[in-house]
A and B are shown apart, each in its own frame.
Chain A
Amino acid sequence: MSPLRRVLPHVVVLAVFAVLLWFLPGTIRALFGQASVSYVTLVTNAASLAILALSWDLLARTGQVSLAHAAFFGAGAYSTALLSRFADVPLWLGIPLGGVVAGLIALALGPVTLRLHGIYFAIATLSFTEVLRAVVHQLPSRIAGGAPGLNVPALFRPTFVAGEMERWEVAFIRNEGYFLIYAAVLVFTLLLSIIIQRTRLRYAFTAVRTNQEVAAVMGVNPARTKLLAFVLSSVPVGLLGAVAAHRFGSVNPFETFSIHTTVLALVTPIFGGLYTTVGPLLGATVLAGIEETLRRSLDSGYMIAYGVVLVFAVLFMPRGLVGLLGKLFRRRREAAK
């Protein structure tokens, strides 16, 4: 079966999914009225989590466990912040720029860290993130804003027109706008994930992850494969960082490069199920819901949930939610026989 035929059905499903996402905000508004403002925020957070998870999973497929996601997120965020500050171009251009910058950084960082495996790679990527944060912090304030950071203009500024809309609809339109951009990035990331899953790249990635030497003598170039994965996984995160910068209105070295991003990025796919497309999506949906609930009751420290989930997943769920569900279905099928 040619690769195109293998990819096509999934692309069709993806297109349907994209359409559903397009209509989601409107549906929420119709169902929930004023409460929809926060529901749209919730699904936006879920989408954000899914993008982080899918992209982290992409890299993990080659056996590279990265703790640098926050670096790419921050790079994307600062790219758009600097662009809007110094260049007279449409704001939205900052978003693809964020992706490009992240990809370039990955292109530079990849070859340097290639020979490291396992824990060393993880720690090197973590150190890199901290160094990048320190560099941004140290840049002259006129350029990068130093410790307080920079303000980032909003992408959507809907105006309130009395009589034509309720007050909350202003917030809704704004949230809807951001959600749609997040959704676009999500669809893009899903497309990447599908392409890798359904073409020969899947074989290359899995081979490199399992055993680099065996992969090499079978004709797979481990270095090039790993670098490709590194770059591909960084672009969505850069895009995400850029949108987030506009959405939250500011960047600063501490929050934008926070390890929180990395933690979210790795816990979610592990919980959902690594090396699949559904796993990160599923994990993101569940965890976004849990996080929302927890954030209301606990002020700081709600991240503890992620720690618990991670420990739990490592100990009891080696294949994540996807694995658990698979086992359930298999058992039901056995029972039915």
Chain B
Amino acid sequence: MSLLDVSGLSKQFGGLTAVAGMNFTVTGGEILAIIGPNGAGKTTMLNLLSGLLQPTAGSIRLNGTDLAGKLPDVRCHLGLGRAFQVVQPFPEMTVAENVNVGALFGQPGTTAVEAEALTRDALMTSGLWHLRDTPAEDLTLMQEKRLEIARALATRPLILLLDEVMAGLRPGEAREAIDLVRRIRDTGVTVIFIEHVMPVVKDLADRVIVMDYGRMIAEGSYAEVTANPAVIEAYLGTDEEGEDAL
């Protein structure tokens, strides 16, 4: 049985169709990339998965459980972790305290002692242990992104949803981020990530889904989708970014 099962998922905002008829599955332990031109509906897709938006049609099943109507915090308990594109740490708390929120509330019934251990693990995996007592508002961009991921990891997710983690990173930092995502997968977490930076997708993704205008236009390995004429059309047809992207 697949870990995540998305079937016929659609989202309409009044007259605007953001996501239309998305069908895909995700198996445990894989790294799946969702790519597509700007406005393709990728972040909406992630918001639908997290429960921040309710679909107008279709269903999402996590480990066989239908997520319909379930609030984001319930989905977190069920195993969906989420890191946001624009990082918003809890500024009045230290790095460790930020992560602790996830550790304490990610799974119901976690004791304070257990949470401390989870926090430590998440900080270690993300390479933030040495910054654990730093106020979260004093972090650099890369450190903030690590914090965002650490917070999500502390909730003990089955699947981690990442939204454009690479945005704004220098090449060296991007390399660190790639290593981090690999480390995460090695701990048994499945990763779904949205990305614009193609070399990263090529490097990290086991499988790629391409979205355009809310629909899935291609699915497969990086090599397969980048050779797909519909995909090339989607990128080049919209803006110059397509040329750089591919």
| A221 CA to B115 CA, complexed, in Å | 18
Q: Is A2 an interface residue (CB 8 A)?
A: yes
- B97-108 to A contact mask, C-beta < 8 Å, 1/0: 100111011111
Across the interface, do B88 and A216 meet the contact criterion of CB distance under 8 Å? no
Closest CB of chain B to A107's CB: distance in Å?
20
Which residues from B are CB-within-8-Å of A2? 111-113
Across the interface, do A3 and B112 meet the contact criterion of CB distance under 8 Å? yes
Of residues 259 to 310 in A, which have CB atoms within 8 Å of B's CB atoms?
275
Across the interface, do B106 and A219 meet the contact criterion of CB distance under 8 Å? yes
| A221 CA to B75 CA, complexed, in Å | 11
Contacts A213-B52, A219-B77 given; indicate if A1 touches B112 (C-beta within 8 A): yes
Of residues 192 to 247 in A, which have CB atoms within 8 Å of B's CB atoms?
200, 203-204, 206-207, 210-211, 213-222
Across the interface, do A219 and B155 meet the contact criterion of CB distance under 8 Å? yes
Which residue of A is nearest B74, CB measured? A221
Give the number of A-B contacts (CB < 8 Å): 80
Kindly identify which residue among A210, A213, A215, A221 contacts B91, using a CB–CB cutoff of 8 Å: A210
Closest CB of chain A to B45's CB: distance in Å?
15
| A147 CA to B81 CA, complexed, in Å | 56
| A109 CA to B108 CA, complexed, in Å | 27
- Number of A interface residues at 8 Å Cβ cutoff, please give it: 21
Of residues 97 to 141 in B, which have CB atoms within 8 Å of A's CB atoms?
97, 100-102, 104-108, 111-113, 115-116
Q: Is the interface of A mostly helix, strand, loop or mixed?
A: helix
Across the interface, do B105 and A219 meet the contact criterion of CB distance under 8 Å? yes
| A222 CA to B91 CA, complexed, in Å | 18
Across the interface, do A218 and B102 meet the contact criterion of CB distance under 8 Å? yes
Contacts A210-B91, A218-B76, A219-B155 given; indicate if A203 touches B112 (C-beta within 8 A): no
Which residues from B are CB-within-8-Å of A217? 50-52, 72-73, 75-76, 80-82, 152
Which residues from B are CB-within-8-Å of A219? 73, 76-77, 102, 105-108, 155
Q: List A residues at the B interface (Cβ < 8 Å).
A: 1-3, 200, 203-204, 206-207, 210-211, 213-222, 275
17 A-B residue pairs with CB within 8 Å: A200-B115, A203-B93, A203-B97, A203-B104, A204-B101, A206-B92, A210-B90, A210-B92, A211-B90, A216-B51, A216-B76, A217-B73, A218-B155, A219-B76, A219-B77, A219-B105, A220-B73
Q: List B residues at the A interface (Cβ < 8 Å).
A: 50-52, 71-73, 75-77, 80-82, 84, 88, 90-93, 97, 100-102, 104-108, 111-113, 115-116, 151-152, 155
